Chains A and B, each alone.
Chain A
Amino acid sequence: MANTINPYLPEIVTIKNVIEETPNIKSFQVVFNDPERMKTFTYEPGQVGQLSVFGVGESTFVINSPPTRMDYLQFSVMKAGEVTAALHDLYPGDQMGVRAPLGNAFPYEQMKGKKILFIGGGIGLAPLRTLILFMLDNRADYKDITIIYGSRTPPDLCYKEDLNEWEARKDVELILTVDAEYPGWKKKVGFVPTVLNEVAPSPEDTIAITCGPPIMIKFVLQNLAQLKFKDENIITTLEARMKCGIGICGRCNLGSKYICKDGPVFSLAQLKELPGAI
């Protein structure tokens, strides 16, 4: 936890770099103003943070750089509401507040020795990116890594540098798709759940991790079930409107569980126990 005495008090960070991922998504690479804090800060892949623009408010984003690369913390922000619009107005050198790490992490220990299937859509690649990079930095611990990733159009694909690198690697299979034909696009065309069925990965010894828009997740879960993936081998990470980030304020609950504290990472087996989750 960021601040054990006052969990509401953000720590101040400075933006080192801003990357325009897509026309409406920017990634912010930040470092704590206190250099000591940068050394003591620990988190696990999948954990989230609250970013503050003082005077505007706070919103929750996953830390999408892995703990194996601690030069900075990266958060990706899609412009949608007031806070995200204010974040998009920030530039290198500007300060913001961070409350992190919050929530739980991907069960990466239990994934060791398994084949890993990532299925992402749009900005939903952000949490997967943390785990993908973490696994690539500990490559020997995991078997085959397959990534199915899609977006509406080619310009909407996030982390293009990473995608190029993963495509070039022999120990990663990357399958990219866009929703509709696009000038110059020579890869797959079709929605992510459809492409998943085409690829038809074996559920044998495999953990599937998915994140994307709610409608994509819904059909990906259905198709994974058809492919005979067991509920406990399907992992997703949820988001909801959050304020406190510590399981009190009442917004992000699914029954008795709070996405901000008990999540955001859940297995499908866990979600099936929760009212209104899926």
Chain B
Amino acid sequence: MADTGFIPKEKWGAFIEGLSTKAQVYVPCLEGDTVLFRPFGKEKTLCFERPANSPPKSVIFPQSDTLFSFTFIKDPDNPQKTEVELKEHLDFPKTIVIGSRPCDAKGFTVYDRPYTETDTPDPYYKGRREKTTIVTMTCNSPSAGCFCTAVGGSPADKEGSDALITEVEKGYFIEALTEKGKEILQGPGVEDGKAYQGDATKKQEAVHSMVKNPFGPKGLGKVSPELFDNDEFWDNAVSKCVSCGACTYLCPTCYCFNITDEQTSDKGERIRTWDGCMYVHFTLEASGHNPRPTKFQRFKNRVGHKFSFYPEKYNGVIACCGCGRCIRYCPMSVDISEIVSNLQGA
């Protein structure tokens, strides 16, 4: 079986629609001015021209997810006695994400290490990840704030994807990267891709060279321990931050969460929701003690996690994919690439 394929432009819509009969398909949809990953529907306006405002992380890591439900059962013979019954929610549908960007796919690989490659894998993340095919699209051009090449990525990077689609003049060239990716080549209207490989490679190389590198010609250097532990540096760096946490929600690699219970009458659910280390309540303890009470300590933790703590734990891998969303959408124009740049030793 060939590992490449080609879909002519006019058959692109039918291809996606065809896949949606076999799996739940998520595609970037235009809603007002915003592009968001939504379940495919004929009425949706698809938008593959630019990266979605929000990455597709919610497909595998839903913003709100029921871990299990609980039911209280009263003993009819002894009304004071109540039993609790728990029911897990571990059934996940077959899912395909079409149109993620290489940075978004790298985001999933940052999740994979703490969520799946441990002695206590997270069954919700792992279950969805295994059932999901990530079909990534090579970027047409970098957006403002993009810096993927500076953190080991590329606008045509294959890491974390099951298939990579590159738009060429007459359609879409598909390269299957995994067994799940090969299944995509069985979709309706897929033709032989060999003739388009050259065009795709050219385009991938061209867009690669267009991404800016905020860390200068030498690239990302070592974080200076003196600066990293200098409170004044952080206080100055984040003085304009308003702790809104938008950066954490839009980040393909931010994976902090909260767990809460919701109950009505005799039943309820334990729910996991996205959370963010930029919020003051995140680490606030019931006693009133807060190990990260100031904004700069929280910001230092966020940058530290991506550029220092995570790499320390996982063989130097940087937990930032350079998608630039936190820079593009920060209401106060806080620029993580600038801060990290300033953190490097001389």
Contacts and interface: CB of A to CB of B under 8 A. Distances in A.
Interface residues of B, number: 53
A6 B123 contact: yes
B277 A250 contact: yes
B80 interface: yes
A246 B309 CA distance: 17
Interface in A234-249: 239-241, 243-244, 246-249
A80 B286 contact: yes
Contacts of B119: 1
B82 A95 contact: yes
Given A10-B86, A248-B115, A250-B255, A57 B286 contact: no
Interface string A237-278: 001110110111111110110000000000000000001100
State the majority secondary structure of interface residues on A: loop
B86 A12 contact: yes
A243 B84 contact: no
Given A248-B122, A249-B257, A241 B275 contact: no
Contacts of B259: 8, 57-58, 243-244, 249
Interface string B288-305: 010110000100010011
Given A9-B88, A240-B283, A240-B285, A275 B118 contact: no
A276 B82 contact: no
A79 B262 CA distance: 21
A245 to B, nearest CB: 9
Interface stretch (B16-24, B66-74, B173-181): B66-74
B183 interface: no
Contacts of B286: 59, 80-84
Contacts of B282: 241, 250-251
A130 B70 CA distance: 32
A5 interface: yes
B297 A97 contact: no
A8 B291 contact: no
B287 A80 contact: yes
A55 B261 contact: yes
A256 B275 contact: no
A243 B229 contact: no
B313 interface: yes
Contacts of B169: none
Interface string A77-105: 00011111000000001110100000000
A45 to B, nearest CB: 21
Contacts of B285: 80-81, 239-241
B90 A54 contact: no
A214 interface: yes
A82 B260 CA distance: 12
Taking each of A1, A81, A241, which has the highest tally of chain B beta carbons within 10 Å of its own beta carbon? A241
Contacts of A1: 119-120
A56 interface: yes
B260 A57 contact: yes
Given A255-B304, A256-B310, A243 B283 contact: no
A7 B125 CA distance: 12
Interface string B69-93: 0101000000011111010101000
B256 interface: yes
- Number of contact residues on A: which range applies? 35 or more
Given A54-B72, A249-B259, A256-B310, A240 B120 contact: no
Contacts of A214: 289
B173 to A, nearest CB: 37
Interface string A1-25: 1001111111010000000000000
Nearest to B291: A240
Interface string A91-129: 001110100000000000000000000000000000000
Nearest to A82: B286
A57 B68 CA distance: 13
Taking each of A59, A93, A253, which has the highest tally of chain B beta carbons within 10 Å of its own beta carbon? A253
Contacts of B275: 249-250
B114 interface: yes
B258 interface: yes
B323 to A, nearest CB: 19
Interface string B303-339: 0110011101100000000000000000000000000
B8 interface: no
Contacts of B256: 249-251
B72 to A, nearest CB: 7
Contact of B309 (A4, A6, A55, A256): A256
A5 B123 contact: yes
Given A240-B291, A241-B283, A243-B259, A253 B305 contact: yes
B270 interface: yes
Contacts of B309: 253, 255-256
Interface pairs A-B: 4 shortest CB-CB: A81-B286, A250-B256, A55-B263, A80-B286
22 contacts: A6-B90, A7-B120, A7-B123, A8-B124, A9-B67, A10-B86, A54-B72, A80-B286, A84-B286, A95-B82, A95-B84, A239-B285, A240-B285, A249-B256, A249-B258, A249-B259, A250-B257, A250-B275, A250-B305, A255-B308, A256-B313, A276-B297
